[in-house]
């Protein structure tokens, strides 16, 4: 049956689940035509996503909040499930849209998907418009003096800071949505996807993102530089899951920082620069993956392909479950498994431990993080893991974190450790970082006998670090012409 009425614009939502500062929605609503806000539950895409059911619940919460916000603008969110091309084919046959608008995504698989989707839609003579989103600066906009992409953070950050920043677009105009069938918003149970993360740390949605952001700006930003590395304090912004699902835009976040604490030349003041640096790190990793898509699966620096990673299932399971005998590592992994989030300092320590103490390929760790983290972004996950394994961009100097030293420095009293490893709650602060060093008498008194009540360390850190360093130096120098023998 032919569609009767003005041909509408389809606004295709993906990882931009908000109405405020949403370029595709803003421009679609500004056209003065009916708008179909469409979210596709892409069955093919979901097959390749290994996220815990909690991540899909977060997405469902975000979609329900989005639906409410769209209703407040006079429209209606339309949800359809199926293969992407089949869904678009049906929508096109139902309403003969004038245009399809969407915000770009810069991950390699998303780029490939979008190219195919645009080709398919344009076959029907339908205009397609895409807009910058996800980052403040498109990966093509930041180039070296020779025109190439950056592979080192510091010069990238210098160039990033010099570029003029776009202003947030605000809320879109009111619009109407044609009467169309819509399906229920699915969560983890409906897809179905097992939910093993039982206590998600945050709830999805633009309103929750805004509340969390405003709370950080008001209560924690001023102390961010001093508290961001302390895992026992709520010193971070907790905005990464909201950025991952697009419940808030980085453009808006940067604009808020400038407005709250203006510096010279429309830049944040020094007190906010540390937080801005984290936004730049996120965009740097997106930039690297965009220009070097092979890094999603392979080392950035090919000489490290010769590293003969081991894979001991027993120690890998101990790492995943937080049973390594290294309290800070175990606390981080248990926090991840329970909440779908891990403090950034703990992420660096746990990642370093897997690659450099257990000598297990970083890709196994990245894959496990991808199953648990609510804030999983492929670029940040891959970039962070390659940084931790010293196989990625700018891997010098060689960094090998000593878990006990990191623990003493950033969780001196063991507050974070005791929260997530409660069997250590009676261990004195002097020994909380290495409980196996307690005397046998003190172990019995505290109820923490090494190897019985809490695991003994599964590896000798000093020996493991020395081995990794030797392998790294040989690989970097090109002296590993074939894979080296595995260590005992």
Q: Assign 3-state DSSP to the chain and report helix, strand, coil percentages, each to 5.
A: 50, 5, 45
- Of 86, 94, 278, 423, the active-site residue reads 278
- Of 86, 94, 309, 419, the active-site residue reads 309
Is 341 among the catalytic positions?
no
- Facing residues of 127 across strands? 99
The structure tokens 């619940």 sit at 57
Is 266 among the catalytic positions?
no
Is 426 among the catalytic positions?
no
Dist CA 284 CA 281 (whole Å): 5
Is 344 among the catalytic positions?
yes
- Of 344, 402, 419, 423, the active-site residue reads 344
Dist CA 428 CA 451 (whole Å): 18
3-state SS track over 312-339: CHHHHHHHHHCCCCCHHHHHHHHHHHHH
- Give yes or no for a contact between 97 and 9, defined as CB atoms under 8 angstroms apart: yes
Record the tokens describing residue 112, joined without a space: 């490939």
Count the neighbouring beta carbons within 10 Å of the beta carbon of residue 255: 18
Count the neighbouring beta carbons within 10 Å of the beta carbon of residue 441: 8
- E strand or H helix that includes residue 127: strand 127-131
Please calculate the CA angle 183-185-191 and round it to the nearest 5 degrees. 100
Dist CA 480 CA 474 (whole Å): 6
Dist CA 264 CA 167 (whole Å): 17
If DSSP codes are grouped into helix, strand and coil, which group holds residue 123? coil
Dist CA 220 CA 229 (whole Å): 13
Record the tokens describing residue 243, joined without a space: 């950025």
Sequential DSSP letters for 162-193: HSPPPPP--SPPP--------PPPP-TTTTT-
- Of 160, 362, 387, 420, the active-site residue reads 362
Calculated CA dihedral for residues 470, 475, 477, 479, nearest 10 degrees: 90
Where does residue 447 rank: exposed (0-12), middle (13-18), buried (19+ CB within 10 A)? middle
- Of 160, 385, 387, 420, the active-site residue reads 385
Is 281 among the catalytic positions?
yes
CA-based nearest residue to 99, from 4, 6, 1, 180: 6
Distance of CA 308 to the CA centre of its chain: 28
- Of 273, 281, 402, 419, the active-site residue reads 281
- Give yes or no for a contact between 361 and 309, defined as CB atoms under 8 angstroms apart: yes
The catalytic residue positions are 278, 281, 309, 344, 362, 385
């Amino acid at each position: 049956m032919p569609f009767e009425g003005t041909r509408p614009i389809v606004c295709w939502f993906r990882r931009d689940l908000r109405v405020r500062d949403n370029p595709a929605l803003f421009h679609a609503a500004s056209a003065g035509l009916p708008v179909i806000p469409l979210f596709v539950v892409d069955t093919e895409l979901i097959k390749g996503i290994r996220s815990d059911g909690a991540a899909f619940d977060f997405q469902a919460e975000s979609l329900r909040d989005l639906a409410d916000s769209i209703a407040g603008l006079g429209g209606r969110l339309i949800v359809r499930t199926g293969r992407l091309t089949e869904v678009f084919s049906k929508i096109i046959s139902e309403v003969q849209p004038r245009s399809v608008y969407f915000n770009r995504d810069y991950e390699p698989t998303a780029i490939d998907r979008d190219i195919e989707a645009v080709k398919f839609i344009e076959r029907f003579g339908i205009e397609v418009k895409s807009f910058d989103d996800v980052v403040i600066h498109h990966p093509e906009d930041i180039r070296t003096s020779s025109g190439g992409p950056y592979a080192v953070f510091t010069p990238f950050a210098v160039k990033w800071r010099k570029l003029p920043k776009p202003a947030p677009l605000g809320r879109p105009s009111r619009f109407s949505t044609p009467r169309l069938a819509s399906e229920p918003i699915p969560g983890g149970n409906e897809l179905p996807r097992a939910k093993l993360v039982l206590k998600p740390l945050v709830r999805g949605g633009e309103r929750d993102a805004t509340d969390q952001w405003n709370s950080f700006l008001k209560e924690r930003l001023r102390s961010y530089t001093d508290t961001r590395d302390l895992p026992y304090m709520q010193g971070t912004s907790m905005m990464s899951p909201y950025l991952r699902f697009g419940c808030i835009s980085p453009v808006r976040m940067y604009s808020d920082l400038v407005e709250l604490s203006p510096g010279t030349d429309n830049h944040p003041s020094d007190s906010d620069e540390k937080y801005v640096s984290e936004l730049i790190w996120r965009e740097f990793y997106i930039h690297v993956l965009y220009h070097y898509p092979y890094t999603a699966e392979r080392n950035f620096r090919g000489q490290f392909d010769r590293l003969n990673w081991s894979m001991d299932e027993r120690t890998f399971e101990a790492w995943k479950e937080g049973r390594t005998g290294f309290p800070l590592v175990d606390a981080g992994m248990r926090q991840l498994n329970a909440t779908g989030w891990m403090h950034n300092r703990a992420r660096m320590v746990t990642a370093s431990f897997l690659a450099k103490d257990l000598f297990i390929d970083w890709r196994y760790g990245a894959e496990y993080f991808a199953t648990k983290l609510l804030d999983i972004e492929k670029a940040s996950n891959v970039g962070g893991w390659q940084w931790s394994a010293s196989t990625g961009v700018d891997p010098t100097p060689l960094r090998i974190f000593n878990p006990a030293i990191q623990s003493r420095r950033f969780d001196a009293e063991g507050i974070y450790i005791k929260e997530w490893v409660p069997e250590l709650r009676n261990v004195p602060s002097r020994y909380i970082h290495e409980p196996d060093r307690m005397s046998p008498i003190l172990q019995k008194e505290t109820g923490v006998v090494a190897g019985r009540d809490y695991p003994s360390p599964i590896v000798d850190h000093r020996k493991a670090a020395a081995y990794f360093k030797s392998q790294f130096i040989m690989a970097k120098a090109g002296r590993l012409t074939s894979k080296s023998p595995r260590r005992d």
